[in-house]
Chain A
């Protein structure tokens, strides 16, 4: 009687249903529920390039270790990096480094509280991807021009 007066009889099942929904709702970060956008893709790409650069560090340490070891070992590593697979890896790493660095400049700007309105964000992420591709190609032109 009391429950019906106050609408509990109707609300209780609803509340139970809602609490079930609450426990089942997605928790952050469920990236797949958001519509893919350039800015979010670039945020993910910033992380992926950063993670991938561990291969660049490993390659660099391998190269330095070889230089500190022996002529034969260094020749082997130099040979690997001048082959097509080595060059492809270096190209990927140089792009990842430049892209991650430009993304870092974007984050420095955001750290100062600037560049947050949507137009600026869109402009910044476009500048990041275009800039990284252009600078990487420029770097490789310089590398081929200097050393062949």
Chain B
């Protein structure tokens, strides 16, 4: 594949960025969920 570095790099950058965002979202959710009783979690 011509210009593979840029093309693969763009996919890698995308997945790393959204992956980090998703990981941060889940981690903060877990930390907060530890301090809140289950009856206050409307999604349960």
Q: Do A and B bind each other?
A: no
Interface residues of B, Cβ cutoff 8 Å to A: none
